């Protein structure tokens, strides 16, 4: 597997982001040997989880990238060193799994096409972007259109995609985990009936890295717009990032700092409590791939306010599970929030049902079936040898 995902080594076992690790476990269980070419970090980040296997080899890639001319020139200098590491790995591999788009896959995509007959890539950006994007994203998407391997893309179902490109979602929960969230859904239903948002402060959560692209500032301006209309918003942010101080300062400048709470990086259990607390899960980005936070919130019945684009429209079910807004217009975001705040009770209850139904379409169980279909049916990879049981850390 090749990508720029960070990994830490803890007690001899690799750790990475929890939701991703669950997906990778499904892939890695299909093979006898696994090697990951990616970035190694010194210590795990919040929300990391151990991979199931303790025998995975990590080939640490030199880190490169960033904004500015110097960073771009640095990537150009790294291409050769990445290629030298990847060529022998790809020649030995039964199959290759690429996490795109990222800098290292600029060289990994063409090398995999030359050296490995069984090829898979996940394109984690928007397959049909609605705004500006890095040029390298366009290049990688163009390469993958002609790649010939299996490509999972965040694209609306039913699109006229190349035959090797398959629409994809990014799952977080198993069916059993969704079943365990049923009491939180029941609490939401009771709250809608007895404590409607129209009569109190609207609870809004926003989960994601603080950045201009994620547009937390637009959400703060929308909260100010609603306050000017007499509708109070209580806004809780989860995540860290370079734009966090700017968002704090904006809240103070607009006079609504007391309506904003910054929770920092949360683990999965804490995020579930946040989604359950919220009336609306808002992330109105300028560019987004799938938007994993939306089905995560929908698992407890929380509707979404998202940005523009057909993929996002599909996630909210054309309006059955939330609303879209123009990320460049804070008044559009405010209007979307206000619509959800004032929906009649029966429509809010129908939205809860639609949200939880969609979450059950985005399970790890369904993703496991897709992985087995690719490896067994499409690639004819034989089942791996039985492995001894291992103690897997939580």
Domains and CATH numbers, the chain: 2-171+364-378 (3.40.50), 175-359 (3.40.50.2000)
Question: pTM for the complete prediction?
Answer: 0.81
Write the DSSP assignment of 278-341 as a string of letters. -SEEEE--SS-SS-THHHHHHTTT--EEE-SSHHHHHHTGGGTSEEE--TT-HHHHHHHHHHHH
Task: Tell me the Cα Rg of the chain.
Answer: 22
Q: In whole angstroms, give the CA distance from residue 166 to residue 228.
A: 45
pLDDT of residue 64: 67
Which element (helix H / strand E) includes 205?
A: strand 202-207
Judge whether 299 and 320 are in contact, CB under 8 Å.
no
Q: In whole angstroms, give the CA distance from residue 369 to residue 69.
A: 44
Please name every residue paired with 323 in a beta bridge, in sequence order, or none if there are none.
Answer: 305
Q: Enter the tokens of residue 124.
A: 């984690």
| Residue among 306, 307, 349, 360 nearest 130 (CA) | 307
Q: Is the dihedral of CA 331, 336, 339, 342 positive or negative?
A: negative
Give the single-character DSSP code of 197. Answer: G
- Reading across the β-sheet that carries 233-238, which strands appear in turn? 260-262, 233-238, 202-207, 280-283, 304-306, 322-324
CB-CB neighbours of 99 under 10 Å: 21
CB-CB neighbours of 47 under 10 Å: 18
Q: Enter the tokens of residue 11.
A: 């007690």
Q: In whole angstroms, give the CA distance from residue 357 to residue 277.
A: 19
Q: In whole angstroms, give the CA distance from residue 39 to residue 382.
A: 30
Classify residue 258 by burial, with Cβ atoms within 10 Å: 0-12, 13-18, 19+. Answer: exposed
Q: In whole angstroms, give the CA distance from residue 211 to residue 131.
A: 16
Judge whether 201 and 387 are in contact, CB under 8 Å.
no
3-state helix, strand, coil in the chain (%, to 5): 45, 20, 35
pLDDT of residue 58: 97
Q: In whole angstroms, give the CA distance from residue 6 to residue 20.
A: 11
What are the per-10-residue average pLDDT scores of the chain (394 residues)? 96 92 94 96 90 96 69 73 95 97 94 96 85 85 93 78 86 92 98 95 96 95 96 96 96 97 92 97 86 94 93 91 96 98 97 97 92 95 78 54
Judge whether 62 and 78 are in contact, CB under 8 Å.
yes
Q: In whole angstroms, give the CA distance from residue 247 to residue 389.
A: 48
Show Cβ contacts of residue 143 under 8 Å, excluding neighbours closer than 6 positions: 109, 110
């Amino acid at each position: 597997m090749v990508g720029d995902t960070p990994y830490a080594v803890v007690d001899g076992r690799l750790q990475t982001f929890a939701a991703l690790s669950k997906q990778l476990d499904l892939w890695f269980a299909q093979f006898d040997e696994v090697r990951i070419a990616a970035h190694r970090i010194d210590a795990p980040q919040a929300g990391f989880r151990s991979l199931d296997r303790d025998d995975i080899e990590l080939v640490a890639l030199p880190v490169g990238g960033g904004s500015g001319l110097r960073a771009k020139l640095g990537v150009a200098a790294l291409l050769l060193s990445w290629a030298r590491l990847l060529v022998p790995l790809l020649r030995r591999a039964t199959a290759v799994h690429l996490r795109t788009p990222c800098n290292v896959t600029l060289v990994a995509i063409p090398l995999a096409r030359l050296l490995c007959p069984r090829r898979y890539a996940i394109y984690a950006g928007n397959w049909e972007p609605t705004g500006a994007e890095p040029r390298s994203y366009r290049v990688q998407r163009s390469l993958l259109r002609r790649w010939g391997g299996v490509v999972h893309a965040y694209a609306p179902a039913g699109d006229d995609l190349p035959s090797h490109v398959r629409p994809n979602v990014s799952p977080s929960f198993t069916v059993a985990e969704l079943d365990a969230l049923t009491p939180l859904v029941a609490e939401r239903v009771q709250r809608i009936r007895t404590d409607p948002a129209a009569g109190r402060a609207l609870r809004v959560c926003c989960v994601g890295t603080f950045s201009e692209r994620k547009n937390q500032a637009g959400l703060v301006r929308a909260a100010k717009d609603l306050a000017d209309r007499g509708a109070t918003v209580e806004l809780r942010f989860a995540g860290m990032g370079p734009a966090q101080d700017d968002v704090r300062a904006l809240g103070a400048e607009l006079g609504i700092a007391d309506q904003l709470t910054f929770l920092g990086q949360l683990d999965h259990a804490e995020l579930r409590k946040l989604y359950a607390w919220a009336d609306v899960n808002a992330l109105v980005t300028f560019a987004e791939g799938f938007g994993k936070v939306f089905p995560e919130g929908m698992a407890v019945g929380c509707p979404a306010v998202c940005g523009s684009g057909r993929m996002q429209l599909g996630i909210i079910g054309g309006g059955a599970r939330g609303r879209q807004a123009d990320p460049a217009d804070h008044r559009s975001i405010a209007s979307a929030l206000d619509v959800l705040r004032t929906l009649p009770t029966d429509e809010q209850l129908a939205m809860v049902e639609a949200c939880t139904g969609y979450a059950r379409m985005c399970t790890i169980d369904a993703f496991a079936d897709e992985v087995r279909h690719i490896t067994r049916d499409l690639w004819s990879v034989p089942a791996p040898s039985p492995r001894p049981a291992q103690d897997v850390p939580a």
